Amino acid sequence: MPPRLFIIKIHIMLKIIESIFHNLSVWGLPVLMIIVGIIEFSFGLYEKKWNRNELILDITCFVIPRIILQPLTVYFTLKLLPVILPGLKGTFSWVPFWWAFFIIAVADDLTQYWYHRLHHQVPFLWRFHRTHHSAPYMGMSMASRQNVIYTIFFSQIYLTAALVYLGLGYAALFVTGIKSLITLAAHSSIPWDKPFYKYKVLHPIAWVLERLISTPATHHAHHADSFDDGVGNYKGNFGNMFFIWDVIFKTGIITRKYPQSFGLKHYKQEEWYAQFAWPLFKSRKEGSELAADGPMVGDELQVNRSKSTGEESYETLQKAELA
């Protein structure tokens, strides 16, 4: 093949990839979620746990943040950033693509790791994140399930918007696309990572994969309702796109197994509106964390275990590595 033709073909391929990521960011991801969600539902993967209250909550969390958050980030980027960082628009547009990619990937995902971890480890913050953990099932239906306050203050969105404003926008398109695909796949009830653990020839890939990114095995463990099976780790495995943060900070466990049950042991099926907009709306369920006089953290075990999470998780991680 003549070199010129080869270059043209590469150029066309890059344009197609760019177009895929652009469409993913505009409409592709929600459509993908709906399609995978329908597949999960038709295969009975929600195991009849998707009652009316859960259904309304999941749909509200899927629709409303998309309506609120998009104008909010646009306002932040177009109106606030020129005031906060005057004259700096596009200042770093000279940064080569792969370096920009690397900078945004670390900045965005490490910030989300901290935002997520602090909502688990600081008792005051737990109730803003609880909604994401109350679902007794895994899948596309609960991937967007968050309290609206948690969503609005999603810190890495504003950090990435600032980096886009400074000139790293092109790389951000690919990072956010890849990140969304990885996090959605990690929440999916389809265990796509299973073949990597089953076939010995794929074990080296599995070893790298499970330490680098979130997989259904590691992320499902984060959504488990118990530590007792040695698989669940709801006070750890905080990584979103990258799992490497959990490895570095010793907050993760890798077992290559999937927990048997998900959610919260102390879940009281709180009203969807209380879960969506606490503390604006409170639950009427007695003893609920979301009730007006409810406890900050309902699960005492959760609190007691939090202080030893680091060391304990790392020990288990080492055991898993030896196994």
Partner 1 sequence: MHLQKEAKQKIIRDIIVSLFLYTLPVILMFLSFYITGKKPWLNQQKKNAATVVHH
List contacts with partner 1 (CB under 8 A): 93-96, 99, 102-103, 106-107, 110, 114, 117-118, 121-123, 248-249, 295-297, 303, 306-310
Shortest distance (Å) from residue 175 CB to partner 1: 12
Angle in degrees, 0-180, between the axes of helices 123-134 and 97-121, rounded to the nearest 10: 100
Q: Any idea what DSSP says for residue 23?
A: H
Tell me how crowded residue 19 is: count the other CB atoms within 10 A of its CB.
10
CB of 251 to partner 1, least distance (A): 8
Report which secondary-structure segment, H or E, holds 229: none
Q: Which is nearer to partner 1, 169 or 295 (CB)?
A: 295
Q: How far is the CB of 319 from partner 1 (least distance, A)?
A: 21
CB closer to partner 1, 64 vs 88? 88
SS3 138: coil
21: left (phi over 0), alpha (psi -120 to 50) or beta: alpha
Q: Which is nearer to partner 1, 249 or 273 (CB)?
A: 249
Residues 144/268, Cβ–Cβ less than 8 Å: no
Nearest distance from C-beta of residue 121 to partner 1, angstroms: 6
For the chain, the residue count is 323
Instruction: Give the dihedral sign, CA 76/82/83/88.
Output: positive
Q: What angle do CA 105, 106, 111 make, to 5 degrees?
A: 110
**What is the C-alpha to C-alpha distance for residues 285 and 292, in angstroms, rounded to an integer?**
9
**Smallest separation (angstroms) from partner 1 to the CB of 126:** 10
Provide the CB-side half-sphere exposure for 185 (13 A, CA): 14
CB nearer to partner 1: give 66 or 265: 265
Distance CA 117, CA 249 (A): 11
Write the Ramachandran bin of 187: left for phi over 0, alpha for psi from -120 to 50, otherwise beta. alpha
Q: Which is nearer to partner 1, 140 or 264 (CB)?
A: 264
C-alpha–C-alpha distance, residues 239 and 312, integer Å: 17
- Considering the complex, state which of residue 217 and residue 297 has its C-beta at the smaller distance from partner 1: 297
**From the CB of 148, what's the least distance to partner 1, in Å?**
24
**Does residue 292 sit in helix, strand or coil?**
coil
Nearer to partner 1, 145 or 211 (CB): 211
Our CB check for partner 1 shows the closer of 143 and 297 to be 297
CB of 39 to partner 1, least distance (A): 37
State the minimum distance, in angstroms, from the CB of residue 103 to partner 1: 5
- Cβ proximity to partner 1: between 249 and 281 the closer is 249
CB of 297 to partner 1, least distance (A): 6
CA 23 to chain centre: 20
Residue written as tokens 């590595």?
A: 321
